[in-house]
Amino acid sequence: MEQITLLVDGKELTVQKGLTILEAALQNNIYIPHLCHHPELAPASVCRLCYVDVGGKGAVLSCRLPAEQGMVVKTRTPEVDALRCGIVELLVANHHEDCRNCPKTGRCELQRIIAYLRLDRKKAGRLRPAGEETARDVSNPFFVLDPNKCVLCGRCVRTCAELMHIDAISIVGRGYWSRVAPSGGGPLARSSCESCGECVERCPVGALFYTEYQRPKEYVATVCAYCGAGCNLTLGLRDGRIVGVQGSPLCARGRFGWRYVYAPDRLTAPAVKKNGKFRETSWEEAVRLVAGKLSQYKGEEFALVVTARVTNEEAYLIQKFARKVMGTNNIDNTARLTLGDSLPALWEATGAGAATNSFAQIENAAGILLAGANLARTSPLVARQVKKAAVRGSKLIVIDPAENDLYRYAHLWLKPYPGTDLALLMGMAGVIVEEGLLDAGFIEDRCTNFAEFRESLADFPPGRVERITGVPREMIAEAARVFAAAKPASILWSTGITRYAYGRDTVQALISLALLTGNVGRASAGLYPVGEQNNAQGVNDMGCLPGFYPGYHPVTDEGARKRFETAWRADLSLEAGFSLANLGEAILAGKVKCLYVIGANPARDLPDTRKIRECLGKVEFLVVQDLFWSETADYADVVLPAASFAEKEGTVTSADRRVQKIRQAINPVGQSLPDGEIVSKIARQMGAADFYYHPAEVMAEIASLVSIYQGVSTGWLEKGAFVWPAGKSLLHQDAFLTPGGKGKFTPLEYRGPLEQPDLEYPLILTARRNALYSGACAHQVPGLAGLAPAEYLEVNPKDAADFEISDGEEIQVASRRGEIEIPARITEDVPPGLVVLGYNSPRSAFHLLTGAEGKACAVQLRKKITLRMAPELTIS
């Protein structure tokens, strides 16, 4: 980069060419007053304060003029000061002047400018004061918009548009009556504002401020504990308590969601059920009781379910506990509920069970296929990458039967019937092969099994695909052509693909599309399974899976077993365990009798809730370990209080393979303990003396035994993220990680969703998450839940007419397994035959209706006859 030298206030500055005078000065700690400039935003030049004198030729705006070699700049001259003072006097005369009671006092940039200018307040007093005050918008639980203090620098509006691509606020009105407000009118809380708080972070004055703000005294850098995007954030502490979060960009959960840590509902002591009632007890007694009971169920009678929110070190210890101490492979994690078999499918096709590229690369993709993923509601900052790409001209193809927050950015929106995506994708692949749009060189050099795959395409002629999916064949062909032409192209998917019985096949179809078009092993050509939990990748990497040891070594592989037996000095089970998908059957069949549930809530999150609860009732000994009481805990014999992410050390792995350190900021709430420590206590009680939750030591063991984590070290993690394997954010660049180094096509056949509509249950029901704040933790955050819209069922007007349902009417939705009551919303957004449940709360009763598949089922609609509540709905 070319360097230039200029003279500012007599000081010689050497800066990069291309900077404005303002940027050059600020970089070198020379202050020039400004309000609208922000280093992350495009220049607006509306505050007109950053005047400087260049070469004695008079005042010019330093934010618009590029710094040039040899320039002589003066930041203060009488002319410049006169202009600046005139403008600031106007601001002062129109500004709510109660600095002492302003939450921004001391951090206010207007105060700084007034001090810099030594403004003569008497001069401002000559001006006519502003008229009456405008009402503040206090609808948002986390921040306030006070137009009386607003200087209309537009930073907030530009942040919302340029940085976050949300566009919730704009400047409305004209002239003196201009103000920042939601683009569509109404209060912020009812607008498209996502409450990320990025605008508040950038407001120079007291116009946007946090409702609760305390200046932190200490800071702890850590990683957000919500989704798998792996955003870094800093917890601000004061007197041993978290008071806020710093970091950018973040979403509402990242910035405000930490408050669940202090939720009054946190479990604070172990509890044991006696005679149907829980009573608190000591850790000693609880551990002794659990260890004693578990000892009776060693082997295949024991099963463990763990949340994908524990740390890598905890996950490693937990699976080691199941395998070594309990002697079983009956362990599974909740990432299955979002990722399904995505990682094993990727492992089979590419040799690595993970996303191939980093999220950061998405914004440069020329094409994006987004299948069954409501990213804006699950991983807002991954959604932001997709929006960024689309804004830059990337062709986005959205596959989703229901409306998706990203469809506004889409070039094409395909709406297949739920669960028919495989046919759609194979239809696209067929067009690509038929029209010769494939990357023949890539397939020839780098892939195997293509002939078999191509043969299986014969089963997917356009007509059949159209009939199965309901998507016009022309549209499928168009999508295929657009996708094949856009290079590099990325593919992202989530529950809309994975939560079907044959979701693994559909993932294979997505991978095949990438192989077919040469979109693997290149920058911005990524395959991204996007889960919902912060460590979905890590718990899978760590082998919390019934079929795999840590590092995706199959438990049926003798060599792998021997290696872990040696390392752990134990005899390990030869059989693959039960997964979450067949755990219920195993319990009902009496094969599994003892269950240890860590941070999971099968009684609500697994499909066919009624059946799952029946299973839980049959379990002879159930241990539940969590931050909050859950529906599953109702069935428990022992409930153990777990510590949150802010109360422990360890690492988590983002969905794009970045292993990052989370750091302890506060002492565990009550008597709660980190999951890893609880499991270690039980293990030691059961005689396994080498179980300790010492994260660094556990990580050292992981690094020595798990090849993909080789090279990870404490030193590295202190500095930043470790990307597995070996720091590579881009996988399969020269060769695939499969044994032969080739990407593997899988021939596929169409197997539809398990449940089809019939005469009695004529409609297909699917669900869409309507709020970012629908999870168990977010729901404990005061304010977050209140931002969500009410739940409803979307019904096409034709179906509504058939079932005699009117808009807003409370109706009964019944499946073969249960029924719920919900208001109907009549809309053309859903096609006839499909109804969509918009949910926003962990209390949603969707899974009372679902069967074996967690995403869709057949239902009937009934008019509500009585006011009787379904007992299943009234969950305590």
Partner 1 sequence: MLNEERTILVCHGTGCISGSSEKIYTLLEEDLERLRGREKIRLKRTGCHGFCQQGPIVVLEPEGIFYSRVGPEDTKEIIAAALQGQVVERLLYHDPVTEKKIVSYGEIPFYSKQERIILRNCGRIDPEEIEDYVGAGGYRALARVLKKMTPEQVIAEVKRSGLRGLGGAGFPAGRKWEACYRAPGGEKYVICNGDEGDPGAFQDRSVMEGDPHAVLEGMIIAGYAIGAGKGYIYVRAEYPLAVKRLQTAIDQARRQGFLGENILGSAFSFELEIFQGAGAFVCGESTALVSSLEGYRGLPRPLPRPRTSEAGLWNKPTLLNNVKTFASIPQIILHGADWFAGRGTEKCKGTAVFSLTGKVANCGLIEVPMGTSLRKIIYEIGGGIPEGKALKAVQTGGPSGGCLPAGMLDLPVDFDSLAAAGSMMGSGGMVVVDEDTCMVDLARYFLDFTQRESCGQCIPCRLGTKQMFAILDDITKGAGRPGDIELLSELGEMIAKSSLCGLGKTAPNPVLTTIRYFREEYAAHINERRCPAGVCQM
| Residue ranges in contact with partner 1 by CB under 8 A | 43-49, 51, 59, 61, 64-65, 82-83, 86-87, 90-91, 93-94, 126-128, 151-152, 154, 170-171, 173-178
Give whole-number Cα distances, 194 to 149, 191, 256, 391, 774, in Å: 23, 8, 12, 19, 14
Closest separation in Å from C-beta 249 to partner 1: 24
Q: Which amino acid is at 69?
A: Q
How far is 775 from 253, CA to CA, in rounded Å? 10
Closest to partner 1 by CB, 50 or 368:
50
Structure tokens at 743: 């990407």
Closest to partner 1 by CB, 58 or 463:
58
To which H or E segment does residue 618 belong?
helix 609-618
Query: Is beta strand 722-723 parallel, antiparallel or unpaired with respect to 412-414?
Result: unpaired
CB 376 within 8 A of CB 361: no
Question: ∠ at Cα 242 (236, 246), nearest 5°?
Answer: 30
Which residues fall within 8 angstroms of residue 756, CB to CB, at 6 or more apart?
Answer: 858
Closest to partner 1 by CB, 49 or 702:
49
Q: State the DSSP string of 493-551.
A: E-HHHHSSTTHHHHHHHHHHHHHHTT-SSBTTB-EEE--SSTTHHHHHHTT-SSSEETT
How far is 222 from 231, CA to CA, in rounded Å? 9
Closest CA to 816 of 845, 848, 768: 848
Query: Is beta strand 412-414 parallel, antiparallel or unpaired with respect to 395-399?
Result: parallel
Closest separation in Å from C-beta 172 to partner 1: 9
Which residues fall within 8 angstroms of residue 694, CB to CB, at 6 or more apart?
Answer: none
Q: Is 179 helix (H, G, I), strand (E, B) or coil?
A: strand
Structure tokens at 140: 């948002």
CB 709 within 8 A of CB 549: no
How far is 539 from 860, CA to CA, in rounded Å? 38
How far is 285 from 304, CA to CA, in rounded Å? 21
Closest separation in Å from C-beta 537 to partner 1: 41
Q: What is the DSSP letter of 122?
A: H
Q: Which amino acid is at 708?
A: I
Closest separation in Å from C-beta 57 to partner 1: 14
Closest separation in Å from C-beta 121 to partner 1: 15
Closest to partner 1 by CB, 8 or 47:
47
CB 572 within 8 A of CB 327: yes
Closest CA to 635 of 585, 686, 600: 600
Give burial (CB, 10 Å; 0-12/13-18/19+) of 580. Answer: buried
Asked, as a colleague might, if the bond just before 725 is cis with ω within 30 of 0, I would say yes
How far is 225 from 286, CA to CA, in rounded Å? 28
Which residues fall within 8 angstroms of residue 513, CB to CB, at 6 or more apart?
Answer: 369, 425, 428, 429, 432, 483, 491, 519
Closest separation in Å from C-beta 45 to partner 1: 4
Q: State the DSSP string of 766-799.
A: EEEE--TT-STTGGGSTTTGGGSPPPEEEE-HHH
Closest CA to 527 of 707, 743, 332: 743
To which H or E segment does residue 369 belong?
strand 367-371
Q: What is the DSSP letter of 416?
A: P
Closest separation in Å from C-beta 196 to partner 1: 23
How far is 24 from 19, CA to CA, in rounded Å? 6
- Only one residue has tokens 């920042």, namely 180
Q: Which amino acid is at 36?
A: C
Closest to partner 1 by CB, 34 or 847:
34
Closest to partner 1 by CB, 151 or 304:
151
Closest to partner 1 by CB, 83 or 700:
83
Closest to partner 1 by CB, 161 or 199:
161
Helices (H), 268-420: 283-295, 312-320, 336-339, 342-350, 375-378, 380-391
Closest to partner 1 by CB, 47 or 438:
47
**Crossing angle between the packed helical segments 675-685 and 283-295, to the nearest 10 degrees:** 60
Closest separation in Å from C-beta 357 to partner 1: 32
Closest to partner 1 by CB, 180 or 784:
180
Structure tokens at 442: 């890539």
- Only one residue has tokens 């007890």, namely 281
CB 331 within 8 A of CB 318: yes
Which residues fall within 8 angstroms of residue 37, CB to CB, at 6 or more apart?
Answer: 22, 43, 44, 47, 50, 63
The torsion region of residue 281 among left (phi > 0), alpha (psi -120 to 50) and beta comes to beta
Asked, as a colleague might, if the bond just before 249 is cis with ω within 30 of 0, I would say yes
